Amino acid sequence: MRTLMLQLVLLAGVIFSNGCASSFHLDSNSNLPPFDGGTRPVYVANPELKREYEILRASGIYQLSPERGGARVLTLHPFRQYGRCGNPLMLTGLTLGIVPGVVPAARAFLYDLDTDGVTESWEHYLPLYERVSIWEWLLRRDEQKVMAEALARSSPRRPNHL
Domains annotated for the chain, with CATH where assigned, are: 32-157 (3.30.160)
Write out pLDDT tens, residues 40-85.
999 999 999 999 999 999 999 999 999 998 899 999 999 998 887 8
Nearest to 97 by CA among 24, 15, 26: 15
For residue 89, name the pLDDT band (cuts at 50, 70, 90): confident
For residue 29, name the pLDDT band (cuts at 50, 70, 90): low
Those residues whose C-beta lies under 8 Å from the C-beta of residue 149, and which sit 6 or more positions away, are 26, 59
pTM above 0.85, yes or no: no
Neighbouring CB atoms inside 10 A of 110's CB total: 18
For the chain, how far is it from start to end, CA to CA, in angstroms? 62
Task: For the chain, give the longest Cα–Cα distance.
Answer: 76
Least confident of 16-30, 64-78, 94-108, 137-151: 16-30
| Average pLDDT value for the chain | 84
Is the predicted pLDDT of residue 122 greater than 90, yes or no? Answer: yes
Give the span between the Cα atoms of 126 and 30, in whole angstroms. Answer: 10
Give the span between the Cα atoms of 129 and 149, in whole angstroms. Answer: 13
CA quadruple 123, 126, 131, 135: dihedral, nearest 10: -110
**What is the arithmetic mean of pLDDT over 110-135?**
91
Those residues whose C-beta lies under 8 Å from the C-beta of residue 41, and which sit 6 or more positions away, are 62, 63, 64, 65, 70, 71, 72
